[in-house]
Amino acid sequence: MKNISIILFLFLILFTSAATGRVEAASLTASLDREQITLEDQAVYTLTLKDAGDAGSPILPPLLDFHVQEAGTSSQVSIINGSFSKSVQYNYVLVPKKAGKFSIGPATMNCNGQTLKNEPLELIVQEPGSAVSRDNATQGNQDQRYIFAKALVSKKNPYENEQIIYTFQLFRRVDVANANLDLPRFDGFWTEDLGRQTEFNQNIDGAEYHVTEIRKALFPLKPGKLGIGPAMLQCDVIVQDRGRRQRDPFGQFFDDPFFNQFMGRQKAVRKNIRSNELELDVQPLPADGRPKGFEKLVGRFSLSASLEKEELEVGGANTATVVVEGNGNIRDAAPQFLADSGDFKIYDDKPEVQVNPSKDGVAGRKVFKKALVPLKEGQLSLPDIQVPYFDPDAKEYRILKASLKPMRVLPSSEKEEMKFVGKEPDAPEREKVKVLGKDIFPIHTGADSLDERPSRAIMLIAEMLFVLPTVVFLASFFLVRWREKRESGADIYKARTAFSSACRKLKALSPASGTNNGREFFSGALKILKDYIGDKLNVSGRSLTPSEIGGLLRERGVDGRTCKAAVELLERCEAGQFASPLNAERDTYGFLNEIQSLIKELEKII
């Protein structure tokens, strides 16, 4: 009995000391896996909560210079010499947006009524190719120059509407996997794809690189300074892991690629490969010498014109065809072509545009057709056709001219003859109906034969048989329609009700409904915005990144300004999930109004 009392006493002391230590030693610390990275790397930001009781989720400091991604949590419990310890780690991946020295402020957590904070940290982000990049490459056992990206344009000072070629090139000497390319938004440009990507090998300073190249034709829409942001390629780079055999006398032998392939000597490192930014100085089209009717057609073009017939009659139809072809923004071609006159009746046809992309740019042709109906006879001349354009190589305006041959219009060979329609004077009178004979069967001349009628039951069956085919047809029709609606109408129904559903959810998210304006608010706003866009585009919106959603919106014809606003709002929602709550109710309403305005704008387009 005495031994049992001693054991219980010791256990009580142990439990009390553990509980006391847990409350008094609660702390929050932060760490980075690396203090210096490049724009092509990413840092892991870890918050460690030790010896805390009931605690909420951490509130991250503002991280506007980084893309923040959750990387999971882990926990650990230990009892050493009667001391109880528990720690929870919250991991986040920081992808830098630009180079510089950044201060990461303290995060906060509420624990047992106490607010915990950690010490601030500093993270240095440098450009690729720096000393830090080379040091990281040594630690990762792979030279950073084994993979890099470059962007270039064919001309940095083009004229407005002049075609230039944007080229993205990825140089690599390693294998990559899980690649995801995000091209710039090209705000201020009209873009045309130049076919599929091409691949080739290129020797640079004695090293052989595999090059992947993507090209786009750009047409600047306005003069002035226009910037093109960097393209980003997120991928897993397959590198060799040599750290395990540094002291192995046979390490050099096993460094052969044959053994690396079969002995697990490789690992995947996540990289964010960025291209360089570009800045263009777009020149305005000169005002001097600008011809009348100029429609901002820029490039090198040719013009041809023809008539279907050289001779026809008054009232007949003839077709005039004008073809503009060349290199440049062929869609803007608009020839000055046959205005209305008293000699012809003119009917316009829809122009046909044929665009032929190639690696050297966009070329094509635009065909205009008009139907001409002459209103008088004689030798009718047609005016010359003119197409003014600007030649960027010659730096001057030029006018293309083409002539149509005169038409010889003959008198109409068909003349209308007036015909008098009336009663002929000598027309014989109609004879009355005569009975010529009777058939074998006797003719019933009385109403007695109508007295024998079918019974009511027979009449009812006859009516049912008469109506039954119609009922069966209608039932089958509505059944098929119901099945089709059930199978394929769900997506249509979602698209139709997406706007009203989003507005209803936004109203429920407002401060008036009692919703928290912190992390829960931004999480709810992000879900509403992604669900709306997903329902309208018939995709799973919550599984897409902001950049992927922006690409889908551009494919559906949404203008660049609206796409940019949508991506920025989505990124703000994602960042808000890890940042401090909004300071005032007014800020919450303002953010909700931005989302509602964006949804209204998208509702008009998609």
The pLDDT tens digits for 508-529 are 887 766 655 567 888 888 899 9
pTM value?
0.57
Q: What is the model's pLDDT at position 243?
A: 54
Question: Is the per-residue pLDDT at 456 higher than 70?
Answer: yes
Count of helix runs (H) and strand runs (E) in the chain:
9, 29
- Continuous H helices in 145-265: 251-254, 257-262
Most confident of 500-504, 559-563, 581-585: 500-504
Cα 411 to chain centroid distance, Å, stands at 60
- Beta strand extents in 349-491 (DSSP E only): 352-358, 361-374, 378-380, 385-391, 396-402, 407-410
Q: What is the model's pLDDT at position 50?
A: 84
Cα-based distances in Å from 449 to 442, 445, 458? 12, 9, 19
Q: Which residues pair with 344 in a beta bridge?
A: 374
Q: What is the model's pLDDT at position 113?
A: 74
> What number is the average pLDDT over the span 530-535?
91
Question: Is the per-residue pLDDT at 454 higher than 80?
Answer: no
Q: What is the model's pLDDT at position 242?
A: 57
Q: What is the model's pLDDT at position 336?
A: 77
Please tell me the distance from the alpha carbon of residue 545 to that of residue 547, in angstroms, as a whole number: 5
Q: What is the model's pLDDT at position 149?
A: 92
E strand or H helix that includes residue 48: strand 43-50
Higher pLDDT: 593 or 253? It is: 593
Mean pLDDT of all residues in the chain?
Answer: 80
Q: What is the model's pLDDT at position 146?
A: 85
Angle in degrees, CA 119, 125, 129, rounded to 5: 150
Encode pLDDT of 197-226 as tens digits: 899 999 988 889 999 999 999 999 999 999
Higher pLDDT: 217 or 88? It is: 217
Higher pLDDT: 560 or 414? It is: 560
Q: What is the model's pLDDT at position 450?
A: 55
Higher pLDDT: 444 or 369? It is: 369
Contact 315, 374 (CB under 8 A): yes
Q: What is the model's pLDDT at position 42?
A: 86
Question: Is the per-residue pLDDT at 309 higher than 50?
Answer: yes
Q: What is the model's pLDDT at position 150?
A: 94
Q: What is the model's pLDDT at position 23?
A: 44
Q: What is the model's pLDDT at position 388?
A: 94
Encode pLDDT of 314-356 as tens digits: 888 888 999 999 999 898 898 877 666 678 888 888 889 998 8
What is the separation, in whole angstroms, between the first and last Cα of the chain?
81
Question: Is the per-residue pLDDT at 55 higher than 80?
Answer: no
- Beta strand extents in 291-413 (DSSP E only): 299-307, 311-313, 318-328, 344-348, 352-358, 361-374, 378-380, 385-391, 396-402, 407-410
For residue 16, count CB atoms less than 10 angstroms from its CB and return exposed for 0-12, middle for 13-18, buried for 19 or more: exposed
Give the pLDDT band of residue 140 (cuts 50, 70, 90).
very low
> What number is the average pLDDT over the span 50-54?
71
Contact 171, 148 (CB under 8 A): yes
